[in-house]
Amino acid sequence: MRRRAFLGLGGWLAAAVLTTATGTWAVSLIGTDITGQVVRSMTLEEVERALITTSAGPAVAPPASAGPYAETGNFSYAEGSVTAACDAGQALLLSWSPAPGYGVDEVERGPAAAVSVVFESDDRKTAISLTCPSGKPAATVRSVTEHDED
């Protein structure tokens, strides 16, 4: 009887050790993706750095052609680029893309007499306004200060 109890206890301990080892191994795999690379969460600083250094695509796909618009214009600046169209005296912002290190703060797409996009970096905000004074898109660029936003 004693021998049977000893073998039962030994079998139970062996199963417990094997289960613990298997569980520990499985938990260690959680930090690894299917390719074997270690996966970890990014810190807020790493996310911000990645967003600043990644070039964003246009917020709206640029037109394949001028389409129904009378005139279109493309404008590129250090802060980003925009494509606008004019039709019947109204401006329409077709696409916008911030330069690396910039994001988009505000967009007034139109159609309207004037449309705009504000590109923003950590230390700078720049507004690009577009109008159609002679039926063709014309751009005006200005730095935005805290006073301008009030």
Any bridge partners for residue 143, and if so which? 126
The pLDDT assigned to 130 comes to 93
> Cis before residue 100, ω within 30 degrees of 0?
no
pLDDT digits over 8-54, tens only? 878 888 888 888 878 776 666 665 555 556 666 777 777 666 666 54
Which one has a higher pLDDT value, 15 or 94?
A: 94
Q: Note the pTM of the prediction, 2 decimals.
A: 0.52
The pLDDT assigned to 60 comes to 47
Are residues 103 and 119 in contact, defined by beta-carbon separation less than 8 angstroms?
yes
Over range 101-118, report the average pLDDT.
90
Cα–Cα distance list, 58 to 40, 55, 105, 130 (Å): 29, 10, 14, 17
Q: Name the residue among 28, 141, 132 with its Cα closest to residue 85.
A: 132
Which band of pLDDT confidence, cut at 50, 70 and 90, is reported for residue 83?
very high
The residue type found at 13 is: L
Q: Is the pLDDT of residue 149 over 60?
A: no
What tokens were used for 91?
């401006």
